[in-house]
């Protein structure tokens, strides 16, 4: 089971969010969030902190789980790493700033100008909920790496 860590991170001081250009693994050359596998004996929250520090530096000190998203890629085998359930976190305070690494380059965007057309197609349906601090669950079925076949998003109250 994998955990997304996190997808969009608001910065309360300037009204901007950061995303990353991914250089390796899933979603090469797309803006995406810090992500990684939850290790044995580790909680998703512990994985969030570990992955963030390992991939871009800075340590999340205030954060909350905001959603959970399932991904199914019909063109992949069912056991593929592409098929996953992802916990989505919203970070509101960091100790230190994100920095470029071998795998990721953090980028900052104004909330009104998030480049959804350079992200996975599903981000359009849920990333704005993270920014607005709205809890949700979702499932996205891809018929191939670029095309959504099924979209499900439910806002939790």
- CB distance 5 to 51 below 8 Å: yes
CATH assignment of the domain containing 22:
3.90.79.10
Q: What is the pLDDT of residues 48-97, one digit of tens each?
A: 899 888 888 889 898 899 999 999 999 999 999 889 999 999 888 888 88
CB burial of 98-112 (b: ≥16 within 10 Å; e: otherwise) equals beeeeebebeeeeee
Report how far residue 10's alpha carbon sits from residue 64's, in angstroms, rounded to the nearest whole number.
12
**Count of structural domains within the chain:** 1
| pLDDT, position 7 | 41
Above pLDDT 70, what percent of the chain? 82
Q: How far is CA 103 from CA 25, 93, 106, in A?
A: 8, 23, 10
Q: What are the residues facing 119 on neighbouring strands?
A: 31
Give me the torsion for CA of 67, 137, 34, 107, rounded to 10°: -90
Domain carrying residue 66: 2-155
């Amino acid at each position: 089971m994998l955990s997304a860590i996190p997808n969009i991170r608001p910065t309360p001081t300037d009204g901007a969010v950061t995303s990353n250009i991914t250089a390796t693994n899933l979603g090469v050359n797309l803006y995406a969030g810090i992500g990684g596998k939850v290790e044995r004996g580790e909680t998703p929250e512990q994985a969030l902190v570990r992955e963030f520090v390992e991939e871009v530096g800075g340590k999340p000190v205030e954060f909350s789980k905001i959603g959970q998203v399932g991904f199914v890629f019909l063109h992949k085998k069912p056991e593929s790493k592409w098929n996953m359930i992802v916990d989505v976190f919203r970070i509101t305070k960091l100790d230190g700033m994100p920095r470029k690494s071998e795998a990721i380059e953090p980028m900052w965007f104004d909330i009104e100008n998030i480049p959804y057309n350079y992200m996975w197609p599903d981000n359009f349906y849920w990333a704005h909920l993270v920014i607005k601090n709205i809890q949700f669950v979702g499932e996205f079925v891809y018929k191939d790496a670029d095309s959504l076949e099924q979209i499900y998003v439910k806002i939790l109250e």
